[in-house]
Structure 1
Amino acid sequence: MASDWIGCLVSIHCGPTLGVYQGEVSSVDQTSQTISLRLPFHNGVKCTVPEVTFSAMDIKDIKILEIRKSSTEVPKQNGPDSSSTLTPHGGRKDKGGGAPGNSAPLTVPNKTEPKTQEGGVSPVPHYSKRSSSCRGPNQATPKKNGLKNGGHMKNKDDECFGDGMEDVLDEDFDFEGNLALFDKAAVFSQIDSSERRGNGARSRGTPGEQTPSRYRHDENILEAKPVVYRQITVPQNGTKEYSTDSGLVVPSISFELHKRLLAAAESHGLSLERRLEMTGVCASQMALTLLGGPNRLTPKNVHQRPTVTLLCGPHVQGAQGISCGRHLANHEVEVILFLPNFVKMLEAITSELALFGKTGGKLVSNVKDLPETPVDLVINCLDSHENGFLREQPWYKAAADWANQNRAPVLSIDPPVSGQAHAVEAKWSLSLGLPLPVSEDAGRVYLCDIGIPRQVFQEVGIKYHSPFGCKFVIPLHSV
C-alpha cells in the first residue's frame, strides 16, 4: 500500500536536467501519481525548502536507501494492493525492485541496504558526515564499495577527509545557547569604566559626549605629531607658491637662485650630463603618460604608434629635449626632432645628438620638413633663460608658428620665468628641482626630481624636504 512507502529513505533520479534527490518519503498520492520527500537533498546539497513533490512523469529511477518500518512485510505486486504502487516514467529497476519494463510498477523491497547499479557503484552519493545534522537518530551512513577498471574505488569522503571523520559529532552547534552565555551589558560596562579611568574617548558616542574622529582607509590614525605642510623654505620673500596633491607647500625660486643651486650641485658631482639624463627620463615618463600610457603603448597597437615632435634650440634646454626624445624613441614612439643647423653648438647637444641618431628617430633642420597634419604631442624646448635674442631669429618664429597652428597639445620643458614672452602656448610645463615663477600661459605646472641632495639645497640657503614621495614627477597647484 501507499503507506508502506512513508518513512523510507529513497533516492530519486530525475534525469540529467533535474538531477538526483534524496530524502524521507512523506506522502504518496496514488491518484495523481506523485511522491513527496521531506528534508530533501539535491545532488548532495540540502534543499532550502522542507518538502519536494515529484511526478511519475519526471522520475527515471527510484532506489530504496533505508526502510524505517518495523514490519518486514513486503506488498505483493499481483495482489489486491497492487494499485498502491508508483510507476516511474521511462525509468528502470534494479534487481529486487520489481519486474523490468518502462511501465512496470515500483514496490518497496525487503532490504535495508542501498541498491547499486551494475559494477556495484551507487549512482549518487548518500548522506555523509558533512550532512550528519540532517540524518535521523537511527540512520546509518551507508558504505559504498565498488570496482572501477578492475580495481577498488574508495569512498569519496574517505579520499578527501581521511579516516578521522567518524569522530565528528552529529549534533548541530547551538548558536543561541552559546550567545546566551555572553553578558553584553557586563562587557560594555567594563569598557565604559576603563575608558573613564583612562580619560579616553568613548567608543559608543552618546548625546553630550565627544565622539571619536572618523578616518578614511588611506589615513594614518597613529600620528605622533601634527603634519607640517610648509617643509620647504627659501630665502626670498613674496615668491609664488604652489601646493602638491597632499597639501605640501612648494615655493618658487628666482632664476639667480636656481643657477646657484645647479652650480652647487655640479661642484658635488651632479654634472650637466647627469642632469640631462634625469631630465630626459622624467620628461619622457610624463610624455608617455600624456600619450595614453599602457592604454596606447601596447604590442597589439603597433599600427597606431604615437607621434611626438620636439622643437629644440641651441642651448641647455634644447639638450634636455633631445635627451627626452631619445628615451621616447626607445619606447617605440615616432619622434621627429627639429634642431636648426648651427656652425657652433654646445658639447652637450653634440653628444645627445649622437645618441639620438642611434634610436632611428627623425632629425630635421627646416620647419618645412615638419608634419603638416596634427601630431599627438609637441614638446617645446625652444626658449632659453639667458638668451632672449633667439626669439627674433626666423627659425624660432617659424617653429613657434608651426606649433601654434598644429593644434596638438604642447608640453614645455624648463620654461622661462614670468615676464618673458612665451611664443608657444603650452598646456603643461615641467620645472626642474624647484619651480620658477612662470606666467599663466605656461599651462599646468609639474615638477620633476633631478636628484639634487638635501645638503646641496642647504648650501644655498634653502630648507628642503622632498615633496615627491614615491614619484619623480608631481603636479603643482597654484596657491
Structure 2
Amino acid sequence: MAADWLGSVVSINCGLALGVYQGEVSSVDHASQTISLKQPYHNGIRCHLPEVTFSAMDIKDLKFLNIQNTVDKPSSGQGAAAEPSVILSGRQGQSSRVTQPHVTSSSSQSSTAPITILRRAPTAPSNSRGATQATLKKNSVRNGGAGGLMRTKDDECFGGETNENMDADFDFEGNLALFDKAAVFSQIDGIDGHSNRAQHQSTQGEQKSLSYRHDENILEVKPVIYRQITVPQHRGKEYCTDSGLVVPSVPYELHKRLLAAAERWGLSLERRLETVGVCSSQMALTLLGGPNRLTPKNVHQRPTVVILCGPHIQGAQGISCGRHLANHEVEVILFLPNFVKMQESVTNEVQLYSRTSSKQVASIKDLPVSPVDLVINCLDCHENPLLREQTWYQSAADWANQNRAPVLSIDPAVSGQPPTVEAKWTLSLGLPLPLTETESRVYLCDIGIPKLVFQEVGIRYHSPFGCKFVIPLHTA
C-alpha cells in the first residue's frame, strides 16, 4: 500500500524547530516508520540535499498537495485494520477517490495518527460568487459538515459559518425613502401632516435659493454697498475692482487739487515719491516673475529693466522705482538726458540712485539693442504736453516701441491723443484719470492720502484696496 503514494507531492510540518518541508515522496518504510522526499524544499527554499528522510515521531502534520495514481485504485485485500479510508472530493460534474494510509507514530503514545489530506476547493470567477458558495456548502455537508476534512475558506479563516445574506447589498436609498421627515415632524408638533409637509417644502425652496460662494460671508446683516466712492459732478469713466467695488475716474484738475491738499496736511512730495517708488517697484518685481525669478540660485539670470524718465515729477517717480529695483538685485538702466534745468525732486532722486551699482545713460545709442525684460515709461508730463515734440522724447518712444519688451507706464498724462508709447500695464495714483481707451491693463496704487483729505476736496472716499497697495481695475 505504501507504493501507492510514491510520486505524490506532500507538505510535512516538523514543528518550529525543523520547519516545513515539501517534496515528492520517494519511499515509505513501515518497518522504520520513515518517509523520504526527493527534491525537497525547506520553508519555501530549495534544499541542497537531493533527498531528505523523516521519522514519524518528528512529523507534526502531513498534507498531500498532489496525489498520483490514486483514482479508482482497488484495495489490496488486507484486513480491515489496514484498509485505507475513502474520501470523495467534490467537483462540478465528477468525483475522485482518494485513499488515506495510516502511519504508526514512534512516539510515547501507542495510538496511530491518520495523515490528514486537504484539497483546495475549485474556484470560480468573481461574477459567480453565489454559485461558488453554494458548491462549497454542498461539499462541506457531504464531507461531514463544517467540522469535516474539507473545510471552506471561510471556516479556515474565521472558524465559523458565513451568513448567506452578506452577498446582498444594503439599499440605503430605499431604506431612507421609508422615512418621511415631514410626517414625523407633524406628529411631534401636533400639526396636520399635509400642511406641515407643504411648509417644509417651501422652507427647503427658500434655503436652496440662498447660495454662497467660498469667499462670501453667510453672517451678513446688511447689503453690500459697491459704490463707496463718489466724486462731485462725475461724468467720466468708471472702473471696478475684483470684488465689485466701483472706482470712478477724476479729471486732472481735481486730482491736482487732491495732491495739493495732501501736501498741506503733511504728505510732502518726497514722501509721495517714496510711496510711489515702493509700490511701482513691487508691481514690477511681480511682473518680472517674483520669487520664481529672483532667487539666490538664479543670479546668472538677473532681469534687466530700462526706465525712461523725463525732467519732471513723473520722471522722479520712475527714478525712485529704479532705485528700489536695483536694491532688489535687478539690473536697472536709467535713461535721463542731460537737461540744462531739472526740478529739485529729480536731482535729489538721481543722487540717491547714483549710490546704487546700476547704470545711467543720456543717449538712446547707449540703450540695449536686444530685448530686455521690462521697460518702465515715465516720459509723459501732465504740466507740459509739448515735450512730445522734442527729439529726445520721440527717440526714446521709438526705442521702446521697437524693443519687444513689455512696457509699464507710471502715472501717464491725459490727452485726447493716443499714447506715444504702447504700454501693456498702466499704474494710476490714488484715483484713476480718464485715460484713453487702449488695450493697457489699468492698476491703481495707494499713495497714502488720508480719508479726510478726500472729503476736503468733495470726494466721499472708502478705501478699495483691502489688504493690498496695488489692485487691478476693470472697465465697468
TM norm. shorter chain > 0.5: yes
Equivalence for 1:107: 59
Matched, 1:33 2:28: no
* Residue in structure 1 matching 2:355, options 344, 358, 362: 358
Q: 1:475 aligns with which of 462, 472, 475?
A: 472
1:459 is aligned to 2:456: yes
Please show how residues 284-299 of structure 1 align to structure 2 within 5 Å. Answer: 284-299=281-296
Aligned-pair CA distance for 1:215? 2.5
Residues 208 and 395 of structure 1, relative CA distance in 2, 3 Å threshold: closer
Structure 1 residues 300 and 204 mapped into 2: Cα distance closer, same or farther (>3 Å)? farther
Instruction: Report 1:256-335 matches (<5 A).
Output: 256-335=253-332
**Do the aligned residues in 2 keep the contact of 1:307 with 1:375 (CA within 8 Å)?**
yes
Distance 1:371 1:135, change over 3 A: same
**What pairs up with 1:383-402 in 2 under 5 angstroms?**
383-402=380-399
Residues 197-208 of structure 1 aligned to structure 2 (within 5 Å): none
Unmatched 5+ stretches in structure 2? 1-6, 22-28, 62-106, 108-156, 161-169, 171-175
CA distance in 1, matches of 2:355, 2:413: 30
C-alpha offsets along residues 77-128 of structure 1, whole Å, 9 cap, x if unaligned? 98787559999723499xxxxxx99946563299xxxxxxxxxxxxxxxxxx
Structure 1 residues 78 and 358: alpha-carbon distance in aligned structure 2, compared to 1, 3 A threshold: farther
**Contact (CA 8 Å) 1:446, 1:473: kept in 2 or not?**
yes
Residue of structure 2 in register with 1:424 after alignment: 421
Q: RMSD value over aligned CA atoms?
A: 4.1
Secondary structure, in 3 states, of the residue corresponding to 2:461? Answer: coil
Question: Greater share of helix residues, 1 or 2?
Answer: 2
Q: Which of 365, 368, 373 in structure 1 is aligned with 2:365? A: 368
Contact residue 234 and residue 250 of structure 2 kept, 8 A = no
Asked whether the 8 Å contact 1:205–1:211 carries over to 2, the reply is no
The one-letter amino acid paired with 1:260 is R
1:370-397, Cα deviation, whole Å (9 max, x unpaired): 1111111110000001111111111111
C-alpha separation in 1, matches of 2:253 and 2:179: 71
1:349 aligns with 2:346: yes
Tell me the CA shift for residue 302 of structure 1: 1.2
Task: For 1:56-455, list aligned pairs within 5 A.
Answer: 61=19, 89-91=41-43, 103=52, 107-108=59-60, 185=179, 209-212=205-208, 213-441=210-438, 443-455=440-452
Greater Cα shift, 447-456 or 211-220: 211-220
User: Secondary structure of 1:264's partner?
Assistant: helix
Instruction: Please say which of residues 207-216 and 347-356 is displaced more in the overlay.
Output: 207-216
- Percent same amino acid at aligned positions? 64
What is the alpha-carbon distance in structure 2 between the residues aligned to residue 302 and residue 321 of structure 1? 24
Which residue is 1:38 aligned to? none
Larger Rg: 2
After superposition, the Cα gap between the structure-2 partners of 1:92 and 1:446, relative to the gap in structure 1 and judged at 3 Å, is: closer
d(CA) in 2 for partners of 1:373 and 1:319?
A: 26
| AA aligned opposite 2:281 | S
Offset of 1:424 from its aligned partner?
0.7
Greater Cα shift, 82-91 or 342-351 = 82-91
Distance (whole Å) between structure 1 residues aligned to residue 433 and residue 197 of structure 2: 47
CA deviation after TM superposition for structure 1 residue 293, in Å: 1.3
| Cα distance, 1:257 vs structure 2 | 0.7
TM-score (norm 1): 0.63
1:217 Cα offset (Å): 2.6
1:396-417 per-position Cα deviation (integer Å, ceiling 9, x unaligned) = 1111111111121110000112
- SS for the counterpart of 1:419 is coil
Listed as ranges, the gaps of 5+ residues in structure 1 are 1-29, 36-54, 64-76, 94-99, 111-133, 138-175, 177-181
Whole-Å Cα distance in 2 between the matches of residues 102 and 215 of structure 1?
Answer: 79
Letter in 2 for 1:321: G
Number of aligned pairs?
A: 342
> What SS does the corresponding residue of 1:440 show, helix, strand or coil?
coil
- CA drift of 1:442 comes to 6.7
Instruction: From the superposition, tell whether residues 209 and 429 of structure 1 become closer, same or farther in structure 2 (CA, over 3 Å).
Output: closer
Question: Is the 8 Å Cα contact of residues 182 and 197 (structure 2) preserved in structure 1?
Answer: no
| Secondary structure of 1:441 counterpart | coil
Contact kept? 2:34, 2:53, Cα under 8 Å: no
Paired residues of 2:38 and 2:50 also in contact (CA < 8 A): no
For residues 31 and 216 of structure 1, the distance between their equivalents in structure 2, rounded to whole angstroms, comes to: 73
Q: Distance in 1 between matches of 2:206 and 2:418?
A: 57
Q: Secondary structure at the match of 1:411?
A: strand
Structure 2 counterpart of 1:336, which letter? Answer: I
